[in-house]
Amino acid sequence: MKTPPSSRSKRYTVLGLAFLLLAPGAYGFTEKLVQFVRTLNTDNEAGFTIIPISNYFLIAGGMACMLFWAMSNGMFRDIEKPKYTMLQREAELDGGALTEEELYDA
């Protein structure tokens, strides 16, 4: 199945939202995380800090590994394709089949 190209406006909207919404969050979050890590060496409250940071790194570290694995295995190539194949499979399972026109015109 060939995926139809996204419209330029949709691509810009997705990229714009990804940047505008995530960049400030990422900045604030990273800054706070660095502050936490520094506290480990400079502060007698380190005991409190170790557990949440370990918890965060355990979960987020695993997710980062999965992200890199997904990128290296082409999981984000032709990024819009899975949303069409999913609907097509459903239609097949329910005894009908959608034509590509039906899918793309929806």
Partner 1 sequence: MNQSQSSQSNVLTPGTLVDEKIVLYYLSLSLTYLIIAMLAGLLYSLQFIHMYPFEGIEIFSPGRWRFVHTQGVAYGFISNAFLGALQWVVPRLTGHPVASRKLSWFILIAWQVIVLATVVGVLTGEAQALEWGETPVWIDPVALLGLLLVAYNFLTPIVKVKGPMYVTLWYFIAAFVWTPMVYAMGNFLPEYFIGGSAAGAIGGLFIHDLVGLFVTPIGWGLMYYFVPIALKKPIWSHGLSLVGFWGLAFFYPLNGIHHFLYSPIPMFLQYGAIISTIAVELVVTTVIINFFGTLRGRGDALRTNMPVRWFYIGMVFYFTTCLQCAFHTTLMFQRIIHFTDWVVGHAHLVMYGVFGFWINGVMTYLFPRLLRTNGWYKPSWNSWHFWLSGIGMLVMFFDLMSAGLIQGFIWKALAPWSDSITASMPFWKIRTVSGTAIIIGQLFFVANVIMTWRKAGELAPKSSPYDPTPSNQSQEQYT
Which of residues 40, 69, 90, 99 is near partner 1 by CB under 8 A? Answer: 90
Does 93 interact with partner 1 (rule: CB under 8 A)?
yes
Does 34 interact with partner 1 (rule: CB under 8 A)?
no
Query: Which is nearest to 87 in space by CA: 22, 3, 23, 14?
Result: 3
Instruction: Tell me if 102 sits within 8 A of 4, measured CB to CB.
Output: no
Does 62 interact with partner 1 (rule: CB under 8 A)?
yes
| Concatenated DSSP letters of 9-28 | HHHHHHHHHHHHHHHHHHHH
Does 100 interact with partner 1 (rule: CB under 8 A)?
no
Site for partner 1 in 10-29 (CB under 8 A): 10, 13-14, 17-18, 21-22, 24-26, 28-29
Does 5 interact with partner 1 (rule: CB under 8 A)?
no
Token digits for 51? 């557990």
